[in-house]
Each structure stands twice: as C-alpha cells, then as structure tokens.
Chains A and B, each alone.
Chain A
Amino acid sequence: MTIRSQKYLVAALSLALLAALGAVGSVDAKRRAELMKTRAPLTAGALNPQLERGKLVFAKFGCNACHGAGGVGGVKNINAQTGGEVNGLLRVSETYTREELVERIRNGVPNVDKADPTGPEPPLHMPPYKDLVGGQEMQDLVSYLMSLRPQAGEAKSEAW
C-alpha cells in the first residue's frame, strides 16, 4: 500500500469513527428522553420544608433499618412474598392514599405473606407505630413518603 493510500485509509477510518460518535449522540438523546420521564416534576410540594422534617421522622423511628435508606428497600426478609425482601417505599404514592398510609403506619403489618406457604415465617414484620408517631410528625412522615419516586437505573438483582 502506498503512503498516499495509507493516508486515505487513516482518513476513512477517522470518518468511520466520527460516524460512530454521531450514533453515540443519538443513543444518548434517547436515553435522556427516557430519563426525563422519570424525573419528578418540580412542584411547590417538592420544595416543602415539611419533606425535610418527614425525612427526619423516617430516620428517627428507624424505618430505614427495614425499608432501606430513603425507602429504597433491599433488606432481606426470607420467604417474604415481597420478593424475599422488605418492600421498598418508592412507589407508595401510586398505590396508597394519605389515609391508607396513616393506617398502615399506625397498625403495622403483623403477618407478612409467605412466598412459599410451606416455608419458614419471614423473620421481619412491621410493628404498629400508633403509640409512637402521631400528629404533625405523622403528617410530615406521610408527606415525605408520598414524595418518594423510583430512581433512574435501579439495579437489576443479580447473583451478586
């Protein structure tokens, strides 16, 4: 191959790389579009100082010990129907009303459903909090929970 044609080869390879970089751009644009859908819209509620207080209540009563930091879940609860783990709380706003959430927190979950009926009793269950959390603290806590949203790129559960 002559030097000149080698130069053209290198130039052509460069342009192929440039084209690949273009593809990178469109892939990224697509990913961002998906990402924007999961971003919680900015509302006055989202900026509420009540949410900061609610976060403190969540930590104060040790909710993160079972429900994970920030309610992300991931704490093992063998044979629990909720995927062998204590359920996360990132989607409570989709399935609970405020009143239902208050009731749940007050009464707890005395019996956790088993994944395998013949298997062992799941070791963790939620105690009732009605004598511990009430009034303003309960309202703050519920507001906080209702503000939680699933995050982008939740890791899939793998063997490790």
Chain B
Amino acid sequence: MKTASEDGLKRRDFLANLALAVAGLLTLGGFAARFFAFLYPDVPPEKTLEVPVIARDQIPANGGVVVNLPVGHVALIDVRGEIRAFSAVCTHLGCLITWQPTSDHVWYCPCHKGKYDTEGRVVSGPPPRPLTRYPVSVREGRVYVTLKVRQPMESA
C-alpha cells in the first residue's frame, strides 16, 4: 500500500527529473540553434537591376551570343534587328546553353540535349519551361538587360 509520503516522494523525484530533462534539452537546443545559424549561408538578397551587358555591335546580325557576368549568364539574340535577352541557364538542370543555330532551334544544351528556339521556347528535350526572358534596352550602342541579381557570396 502506498503511503501519502511515498507518493509525494515519487512526485518530487519526477519533478526533479523533469526539470533536469527540460533544462538540458532547452540548452542543447540553444547551442544547436546557434551552430545551425553559423553554418547556414548568408545568402544576399535578390535585387532587380539593369545591368550593362555588351556592346550592341558585338552581337552578330541574326546571331546569338552568351555573355557570362559575375552575377549571371545572359543569352542574347538578334532577330531581324530586335535584341532579345534570355537567361542562358537551361531550365532543366542548370547547365549553360550554347548558340547552335539550326533549322529548328538556336540554343542547345549539351547536358541532356535540350533545344530552344528564338523565343526561348523548348523545341525538344527534357527542359520543363521556356528560357527566362529579360527586358532589354539598347542605348548609345550598349545593351542593357534587367536581371534579378545577387551580390556574389563572400568567401576567403
């Protein structure tokens, strides 16, 4: 038969164990939170910016070129005098497209043989979406493209 004091003893023991467990877990959690924040990269925010990319005359007539900037890769194409800008990153898995004008496509992705046309639409292959299109402005012989950019990550 349990006496009242035995019950009280058990409860006091349980409380002490509980206090210990809760305090311990919270503190462990505190350290874990700090260390996780340390490891999680400091990703700079994205900003929409108009960036000078290339001189107008460097894009051949009815031709295309891929420009690699520190903050992105831009595919430019001249279609009967109109300059169009796309992201040069294949929408499938991130490889860079190349200019490869043929009868059915102009951009080719070597990784999984994705093909895009002059409007950035997928002609064949696995890419799920058309190429991202960027607004273009040509001023004083320079081509400006409006991109979403991030500052490059800080590193040693």
Contact = CB atoms under 8 A, between A and B. Distances in A.
Interface of A: 3-4, 7-8, 10-12, 14-15, 17-18, 21-22, 24-25, 42-44, 46-49, 52
A14 B25 CA distance: 9
Contacts of B34: 21, 24-25
A4 B49 contact: no
Q: Which of B19, B22, B71, B150 has most chain A Cβ within 10 Å? A: B19
Contacts of A43: 49
A22 B50 CA distance: 42
Contacts of A8: 16, 19-20
B53 to A, nearest CB: 8
B136 to A, nearest CB: 15
B2 to A, nearest CB: 19
B30 A18 contact: yes
A48 to B, nearest CB: 7
B151 A44 contact: no
Contact of A44 (B26, B30, B52, B70): B52
A152 to B, nearest CB: 9
B36 to A, nearest CB: 13
Contact of A21 (B17, B19, B30, B70): B30
B59 interface: no
A7 B27 contact: no
A15 B51 contact: no
A15 B29 CA distance: 12
Contacts of A7: 16-17, 19-20
Nearest to A152: B154
A14 B26 contact: yes
9 contacts: A11-B22, A11-B23, A14-B23, A18-B26, A18-B27, A21-B34, A47-B149, A49-B52, A49-B70
A30 to B, nearest CB: 15
A69 B42 CA distance: 25
A2 to B, nearest CB: 9
A19 to B, nearest CB: 9
Contact of A47 (B24, B30, B51): B51
A52 B17 CA distance: 62
B57 to A, nearest CB: 16
A15 B70 contact: no
B12 interface: yes
Interface string B62-89: 0000000111000000000000000000
Given A4-B12, A4-B13, A21-B34, A48 B52 contact: yes
A44 B19 CA distance: 56
A153 B149 CA distance: 26
A11 B19 contact: yes
A155 to B, nearest CB: 15
